[in-house]
Structure 1
Amino acid sequence: MPPADSPRPRALGWPDVPVEVRRAIADAVGAPVVSASSPPGGFTPGVAARLLLADGRRCFVKAASAAYGDWVAAAYRHEAAVNVHLPPSVPAPRMWTHLDDGDWICLVFDDVAGRFPSPSWDGDDLVRVLDAVDRSAQALKPSPVPDAAGVQDAFATVLGGAWERLAEDPALPDADPWAAGHLPALIAREPRWADGVDGQTLLHLDLRRDNILLTPTEVVFVDWAWPAVGAPWLDLVCFLPGVAGMTSRHDLDAVFSSRAAGRAAPPAAVDAFLVALAGYWRAGSLLPAPSYAPLLRTEQRLAADGATRWLRARASGWSSTST
């Protein structure tokens, strides 16, 4: 997960990549670039461009300069290292190549001609994505990535302590009245977020609507920048609050338990991890928007709202004394 801000704004598109780097990409893919377009969205400073090549092929390029921040360069290098090892059975775009000149890091993928899921997650969009989460978990156990970090290590500096800090934030009661009224229970559970997260499955851990593309026959998960190894139910818990933040038409506990990974998950471990995620998102949503991603706080607010909605349902089973 990225830090709260970055020293550089998000580059606008293909023309922001230096000429010599663009030439190196064209050489690597084996054809000149005829045209380029930049899709909207994204929360990492960098260039995203869909390229049409002179031989008729299309590809998608992600590129960023190390000058955008050490964390950006690390994220792009990590994504390249992970994609090298993803098997074809994983619902992810095929990486053609990657380039790293010590400053600019560039990743070239298949261009997926797909759409984002419906904002209301209607039709069969949600079921298709959940089926793809299942397939990904099956294909990525055991993890094919050598020395991939475990979830405990990957999230050690990200999760934990948010609700104690939020207890002192005067904005919390307006932003999340339910959480403000249940702080003792949230604070008690948050330190246990790592209980039960261990496992052997490589997880995406950043499944959001804008990281998912649907074609008539495929579901594709993009932006594998923050994966780690853990229990398979974690991707469901990271994903479902974003659904609930956009629509109230789904019973998240029913959706979660409709999947084998969800049914096998220890309830107390799910509660603790969801509490920690909710705190992370809520705390982030109350910060000023970073220059490179003006919509990031809105995305975090929606995820926090969805997590709170799910916690409200699950908290009905919490006893007044259990922690």
Structure 2
Amino acid sequence: MPHPTKNLVPVPDYRRTASRRTFSELPAVLRDRLAAHAGGSIASVHNAGGGFTNGFAAVLTSDTGARIFAKAAPAADSLIYPAYEREAQVVPLLPEGMPVPRLHFAEHHVVNGVDWQLLVYEAIEGRMPGQPWSEADLCSVEAACAAAAGMPGFPAGMAGDPLAEDMALVPSQFVPVADGGAAPWFLPELNAAQARLFQASLDLCPEALAGDAVLHGDLRPDNILISSGRALFCDWNFLGTGAPWTDWVGVLPYARGGGLDADAWLQRSALTRDVPPAYIDAWLAALLNYMIHAGSQPEVAASPHLRSHGRYTARLVRDWLDSRQATIGGGPPRP
């Protein structure tokens, strides 16, 4: 299928979106702790290129050949420190058998009066999907989503807020266009009639997204590793609750943009084959609304690719949602 961006928005290379703190910039006490966890002096450091923060994240190899994956951030970084702190709380609580790298250690350190969060994971030999997308990779992602769906036994008090409530906090980006306002510059195809259809889908979210399944909440290609045919999910910072299929559907716009048939995968997967089409469209409308809003915000110096990610994703989702609603003649029926 043709790529939907039409050269308006560059396709991000999700392997190279991060601008990260280096190993040498970490306090000496943290460097020493990482050397101890790696079992020897650190011989090489390979910073993670994916992601949208400046938090330290790298594969470290010691002079003994042992490898670890480490993340670190100071409390002075008000964006990434709470995310790493949340990760340290959440990952040890994940049920057995979850598709997630093993967390070896989570440590809190105070260095010169500054709090630091340190995370040490097993280092996975793997790669990000989507370079390019393949049926085999998407099959691995679907299997991992099915394995992770719901997270039975996860403590309810740690599960985060309902997804529908979080999405409702984002101002509607459709109403102004439906009322005759200008479309976002990166979505010039969005017209008043289409915006009204999208808003109708968005209005269905409280019903469509209802559920008590625990969700990853931020599943995208750069939070996935394919290793020996298995997909592993990283960055468990934004858990929420809702319908158990939403993480899976949130990945599909990227796979569709890479040439795969997302609608066929909706039917192929047990996660979504029985979900009413209107519910799928409601979630896509919420994602689109969120990404339009995010892509319209001022650029972030510490994360130079963050806004372009929002704009690119908005175009992918709009293209798919428009195709789905056009196919069934002017918007999905209510279930």
TM-score of the pair, normalised by structure 2 = 0.82
Please tell me whether the aligned partners of residues 101 and 121 of structure 2 are also in contact (alpha carbons under 8 angstroms): yes
- Of 86, 102, 126, which aligns to 1:94? 102
Structure 1: unaligned runs, 5 residues or longer: 1-8
Residue 255 of structure 1 pairs with residue 265 of structure 2: yes
- Of 72, 80, 83, which aligns to 2:91? 83
In terms of mean alpha carbon deviation, does 267-276 or 170-179 score higher? 170-179
Q: CA deviation at 1:322?
A: 6.5
Residue 215 of structure 1 pairs with residue 227 of structure 2: yes
Cα gap change, 1:21 to 1:287, in 2 (>3 Å): same
Q: How many residues align?
A: 311
Structure 2: unaligned runs, 5 residues or longer: 1-17
Spell out the pairing of 1:33-48 with structure 2 (5 A cutoff): 33-48=42-57
Cα gap change, 1:201 to 1:19, in 2 (>3 Å): same
**1:312 matched residue in structure 2:** 322
- Describe the SS at the equivalent of 1:293: coil
Please tell me whether the aligned partners of residues 61 and 106 of structure 1 are also in contact (alpha carbons under 8 angstroms): yes
Write the letter of the residue equivalent to 1:99.
Answer: E
Cα gap change, 1:134 to 1:165, in 2 (>3 Å): same
- Of 133, 137, 158, which aligns to 1:121? 133
Cα gap change, 1:62 to 1:194, in 2 (>3 Å): farther
Residue 73 of structure 1 pairs with residue 81 of structure 2: yes
In terms of mean alpha carbon deviation, does 259-268 or 27-36 score higher? 27-36
Q: CA deviation at 1:219?
A: 1.7
Q: CA deviation at 1:243?
A: 2.0
Write the letter of the residue equivalent to 2:69.
Answer: F
Cα gap change, 1:123 to 1:188, in 2 (>3 Å): closer
**2:251 matched residue in structure 1:** 239
User: Distance between the aligned counterparts of 2:286 and 2:213, measured in 1?
Assistant: 21
**1:177 matched residue in structure 2:** 189
- Describe the SS at the equivalent of 2:107: strand
In terms of mean alpha carbon deviation, does 228-237 or 193-202 score higher? 193-202
Please tell me whether the aligned partners of residues 130 and 255 of structure 2 are also in contact (alpha carbons under 8 angstroms): no
Residue 22 of structure 1 pairs with residue 31 of structure 2: yes
Q: Percent same amino acid among aligned pairs?
A: 30
User: Distance between the aligned counterparts of 2:19 and 2:295, measured in 1?
Assistant: 19
User: Distance between the aligned counterparts of 2:190 and 2:318, measured in 1?
Assistant: 8
Please tell me whether the aligned partners of residues 91 and 236 of structure 2 are also in contact (alpha carbons under 8 angstroms): yes
User: Distance between the aligned counterparts of 1:123 and 1:259, measured in 2?
Assistant: 13
**1:141 matched residue in structure 2:** 152
TM-score of the pair, normalised by structure 1 = 0.85
Q: CA deviation at 1:43?
A: 0.6
- Describe the SS at the equivalent of 1:261: coil
- Of 45, 59, 62, which aligns to 1:50? 59
**2:71 matched residue in structure 1:** 62
Q: Output one character per residue of 1:283-302: Cα deviation in whole Å (capped at 9) or x when no partner.
A: 22233331122122232222
In terms of mean alpha carbon deviation, does 147-156 or 281-290 score higher? 147-156
**1:190 matched residue in structure 2:** 202
Write the letter of the residue equivalent to 1:254.
Answer: A
User: Distance between the aligned counterparts of 1:159 and 1:274, measured in 2?
Assistant: 14
User: Distance between the aligned counterparts of 2:224 and 2:182, measured in 1?
Assistant: 35
User: Distance between the aligned counterparts of 1:319 and 1:166, measured in 2?
Assistant: 17
User: Distance between the aligned counterparts of 1:101 and 1:321, measured in 2?
Assistant: 52
User: Distance between the aligned counterparts of 2:27 and 2:21, measured in 1?
Assistant: 13
Cα gap change, 1:118 to 1:274, in 2 (>3 Å): closer
RMSD after superposition: 2.8
Cα gap change, 1:32 to 1:98, in 2 (>3 Å): farther
Q: CA deviation at 1:128?
A: 1.7
Write the letter of the residue equivalent to 2:72.
Answer: A
**2:238 matched residue in structure 1:** 226
Q: CA deviation at 1:54?
A: 4.1
Q: CA deviation at 1:182?
A: 0.8
